[in-house]
Amino acid sequence: MADEQARLQTEYSDPAKRMRAYISKEELRSFQSRSSARLLFDGIAIWAVILGAIALWSSLEHWIVWVTAFLLIAARQHALNCMVHEASHLGLSQSQRLNDLLSDLFFAAPQGITTDGYRGKHMRHHTHLGHPSTDTERKYRYQISGRSFLKRTAKILCGSAAFEAAREYGTELEQRNPKRRARSIMMIMLIQAGLFFYCTWVEAPWAYFHLWILPLLTFFPYFAALSVIAEHQSEEYAASRVEDYEKSLEPGFTRSVHGNWIERFFLAPGNFCFHLEHHAFPSVRYDKLPSLNRLLTERGFFRDCPQTHGASFTSALSRLIFSQRASNEKQ
């Protein structure tokens, strides 16, 4: 009896486990098929924006064009990272070798990482969400309530999150056998050279540094951090105003945030906004997540677990930033 009560309490406090009661295994299978056409379209669209923005800056060289290109490229770098995330779940191909090769060539190597390295970190995040040492995702512990929001923004835009990620991936590369490490480094260098040559071809060689490397170190990590915070930080944690990396937050908290199309473009490409659905059912392909969300909404899951739903990223982040004030007003 005690074990059964403990199980029910865990399922109640862990919405991802509760969600599984709202859909049958047979229904779930219909959301697990891949769409090669959708993958191809999304991959081309991401790179069309990136390469087009660089070419547009090269032809006009106006500061408004530069700012627009910078933000668009940072957002599409975030989209590339979300495609690496999809590949970490074998979302590109059933063959892991082909899946990782495609992902490394078109999505991971442009960011200086590997799909296999991302997978190793990401799977520990799924398995140990909320654990202080084994959960590899730490950005949701960033404190953004009150003035901390401005401090954290300044730190990320100065490169702190990017250099932390570089250190983690560097450690991962060192742990590989020499042959695999050399192959990974060679691919990353070749892809980076290709990006530099493209910038040179459109007569803007310096754009490689200020329109590719600079957003990669600043606004892409910022968009990623805001996304993770909105999806994984609870209002209770935010209200504490303590940035605690030692405290267990298990079972980890996850929130799905609908967001408007602008928020999704910058903060949640690849339907990343349906994050609770992803944690509950990692095998569901990213293009099927909106349909799964609609089904779960119709069956009343988000009515039964309102804390797991955010109408927009603006509202979700605002609640976290002003969480202590809201808590004091309730009292």
pLDDT tens-digit map of 84-125: 999 999 999 999 999 999 999 999 999 999 999 899 888 889
**Domain range spanning residue 192?**
29-330
The residues near 56 (Cβ < 8 Å, ≥ 6 apart) are 65, 69
Q: Which residue has the tokens 């098929």?
A: 33
**Digit-coded pLDDT (tens) for 280-323:** 999 999 999 999 999 999 999 999 999 899 999 999 999 998 87
What DSSP designation does 104 have? I
**Token pair recorded at residue 63:** 């500061």
Question: Distance between CA 169 and CA 104 in Å, rounded?
Answer: 14
Question: Distance between CA 221 and CA 223 in Å, rounded?
Answer: 6
Q: Is residue 149 part of a domain?
A: yes
* Count of other CB atoms within 10 angstroms of residue 288: 21
Q: Residue 90's pLDDT is what?
A: 92
- Split into its structural domains, the chain has a count of 1
Q: Is residue 160 part of a domain?
A: yes
**Token pair recorded at residue 255:** 């929130």
Q: Is residue 7 part of a domain?
A: no
Q: Residue 325's pLDDT is what?
A: 53
Q: Are 13 and 249 in contact (CB under 8 A)?
A: no
pTM: 0.92
Q: Is residue 14 part of a domain?
A: no
Q: Is residue 15 part of a domain?
A: no
C-alpha torsion angle, residues 260, 253, 121, 165 (rounded to 10) = 60
* Count of other CB atoms within 10 angstroms of residue 115: 28
Q: Is residue 12 part of a domain?
A: no
The residues near 35 (Cβ < 8 Å, ≥ 6 apart) are 285, 287
Q: Is residue 252 part of a domain?
A: yes
Question: Distance between CA 197 and CA 193 in Å, rounded?
Answer: 6
Q: Which residue has the tokens 């090769």?
A: 101
Q: Residue 14's pLDDT is what?
A: 80
Share of the chain above pLDDT 90, in %: 64
User: Is pLDDT larger for residue 12 or for residue 101?
Assistant: 101
pLDDT band at 4 (very low <50, low <70, confident <90, very high): very low
* Count of other CB atoms within 10 angstroms of residue 141: 21
Q: Is residue 247 part of a domain?
A: yes
Q: Residue 269's pLDDT is what?
A: 95
What mean pLDDT is predicted for residues 50-68?
Answer: 97
Q: Is it the case that residue 226 has pLDDT exceeding 70?
A: yes
